[in-house]
Chain A
Amino acid sequence: MTQTPVVEVEHVTRRFGATVALDDVSLTVPPGELVGLLGPNGAGKTTLLSLVTGLRKPDEGVVRLFGGDPRDPASRRALGTTPQETGLPPTLKVGEVVAFVAGHYPDPMPAGELLERFGLTEVAGRQTGGLSGGQKRRLAVALALVGRPRLVVLDEPTTGLDVEARHLLWQALRDYHADGATVLLTSHYLEEVEALAQRVVVIGHGRLLADDALGSVLARVAVRRVVVHLPGITDHDAQALPGVVDAGREGDRHELLTSDADALVRALVTSGREFHGLEVRGASLEEAFLTLTRETPEVVA
């Protein structure tokens, strides 16, 4: 409790017109954590990051960055972010963009070292408009580290990258985190969060659905959905079948969420119960979370 949290979000609500982008979200990130923010498109991830980086104000609640208001430039001195799209000023050269950003920080990383880390040394003299997509993405992430920030916020850092470039970026981020920095990143990719994050926060429909260690979240994501006709069986009975974590209806069929579909099917067969129209599907990440949290809308910690 002695260290000021890097990020504090307290009961924050943010609306855009009639849309509630964030609904009473609270989140605290202590120094040194590597937090992955997961959720479907439109879940509110980007809105949350825009509040943390001082781009927007919450309608209700408080956001603190290193204990201060993120809208105050002084609070952002130890913050490094990256443009979400590869939106770099096309006419400026790579070295110029780096120098421009570096000029904002008291103790920036030398441009040579930074470009080296991200494999951009050869293109330092090229205009950013002439870079390949992967090079632009790498430069964008490199910009987040120019000022030696203690908090790095990355919004989908590797979207649109090939596997090799993605791994290079992941390594650069792991190295930087190992130096003691706090990292907050969003991603659509479970794989990316798996490769980087220690703690996972899941957001859906503007609400915090889960906030847990990577392992526990992965265990909960490994959910299968079994859809089947079970004549004469109530929802309540279905819920009691082996391995079923949640039961509902899809049309006139039962919809069973289970952590072990094999065991459930085996149990159905051996029980001699009448069933037909059996279908087993992988639940998507968002499906898994949205369904799992339907009955318990509170934060599962």
Chain B
Amino acid sequence: MSTAGLTLLHARYQALETVRVPIAVLGTMLFPSLAMFFFVVPQSAVAQNPVAATAAVGQLAMFSVMSTCMFTFGVGAAEDRALPFDPYVRTLPAGPAPRLLGRMLTGGGFALLGLVPLILIAWIFTAATVTAGQALVSLAVVIGVALPFLGLGLGIGYSMSSKAAIAVVQVVLFPMAFAGGLFMPPEVFPDWLDRFSQALPSRAGRDLLVQALTDAQASAAALPVLLAWGALFAAFAVWAYRRDEGRRFR
């Protein structure tokens, strides 16, 4: 049994389980679109400026994939671990890789799905615009910037109980999104916050995505910053999975 084959197997059944609860899929699709509709569309200064509107889509897309990765799949992993089926699956002859990679595939897939309504709203109601080439590159970038957050989410999910995971994800997600310029563009940040922001994975991901969408140059540090966080979060996820022995009781 190859790792790739097992990864697809795990991804397929995780996707199937997710789809069987349609409201969970809808939930992840709705939030970024609603944010777009209520916070961006009514501000004509942003909505009617092609560059600003497109950047706003990039920011919300970044937030959307971050939150999908960390909530649906980070908290989801913690919830699964509490189920009696989880220790059973761990006795099957598959190591951590197929399960983690399978989750990444499904997580990534659903995060992309969540972007569809966001893009539709932007297309219909704002001046946001991309070329076909930019759209394709952005798609690849979205996947790339999502991966570190999947690692972080899974690391959290495998290292604590689901109740603790929900709290930690919230505490990490929202400040990181705000400081990363996902709710307000970093151009309005004071200087110190802007500099601090550049060291964050959310900001690095946002800059890379906005660059792909609008040709606004991201700083040279953005990619190395994202890769470094990505390596750290991936290591965290693998470490957490390895030490996990199912739910702990004291």
Chain A residues proximal to chain B, CB less than 8 Å: 16-17, 50, 53-57, 73-74, 76-77, 79, 81-89, 91-92, 96, 100-101, 103-106, 127, 143, 147, 153
Contacts and interface: CB of A to CB of B under 8 A. Distances in A.
A66 to B, nearest CB: 11
A81 B88 contact: yes
B17 interface: yes
B9 interface: yes
B93 A83 contact: no
Interface in B1-23: 1, 5-6, 9, 13, 16-17, 20-21
Contacts of A83: 84-85, 87-88
A77 B245 CA distance: 20
Report whether over half of chain B's contact residues are helix, strand or loop; otherwise say mixed. Answer: loop
27 contacts: A16-B249, A16-B250, A55-B87, A57-B245, A73-B93, A73-B94, A76-B92, A77-B93, A81-B91, A83-B85, A84-B84, A87-B85, A87-B88, A91-B16, A91-B17, A91-B20, A92-B16, A92-B17, A96-B16, A100-B13, A103-B1, A104-B1, A104-B93, A105-B1, A105-B93, A106-B1, A147-B93
Contact residue range for chain B? Answer: 20 to 34
A101 B245 CA distance: 20
Contacts of A57: 245
B245 A56 contact: yes
B163 interface: no
A89 B91 CA distance: 16
A9 B249 CA distance: 25
Given A56-B245, A83-B87, A100-B9, A89 B17 contact: yes
Contacts of B87: 50, 55, 83-84
Contact of A87 (B84, B91, B95, B249): B84
A76 B246 CA distance: 18
Contacts of B16: 91-92, 96
Nearest to A53: B91
A82 B88 contact: yes
Contacts of B195: none
Interface of B: 1, 5-6, 9, 13, 16-17, 20-21, 83-85, 87-88, 90-95, 245-246, 249-250
Contacts of B88: 81-83, 87, 143
Contacts of B1: 103-106
Given A87-B84, A91-B20, A103-B9, A76 B245 contact: no
A153 B88 CA distance: 11
A104 B85 contact: no
A140 to B, nearest CB: 8
Nearest to A129: B20
Contacts of B9: 100, 103-104
Given A56-B245, A83-B84, A105-B1, A92 B92 contact: no
B83 A101 contact: no
B103 to A, nearest CB: 14
B85 A89 contact: yes
A92 B245 contact: no
A153 B87 CA distance: 13
A87 B83 contact: yes
Nearest to A72: B95
Contacts of A91: 16-17, 20-21
A74 B93 contact: yes
B246 A79 contact: no
Nearest 4 A/B pairs, CB to CB: A87-B84, A91-B20, A83-B88, A85-B84
Nearest to A153: B91
A285 to B, nearest CB: 26
B114 to A, nearest CB: 20
Contacts of B94: 73, 104
A92 B20 contact: yes
Nearest to A128: B85
A142 to B, nearest CB: 13
B13 A104 contact: no
Given A91-B20, A153-B91, 13 more contacts: A55-B87, A55-B91, A55-B246, A57-B245, A76-B93, A83-B84, A83-B88, A88-B85, A91-B16, A92-B13, A103-B6, A104-B6, A105-B93
A1 B250 CA distance: 42
A73 B249 CA distance: 25
Contact of A55 (B6, B13, B83, B90): B90
A87 B250 CA distance: 22
Nearest to B244: A55
Nearest to B242: A71
Contacts of A77: 93
Given A55-B246, A92-B13, A105-B1, A79 B85 contact: no
B92 A101 contact: yes
A65 B192 CA distance: 57
A57 B13 CA distance: 28
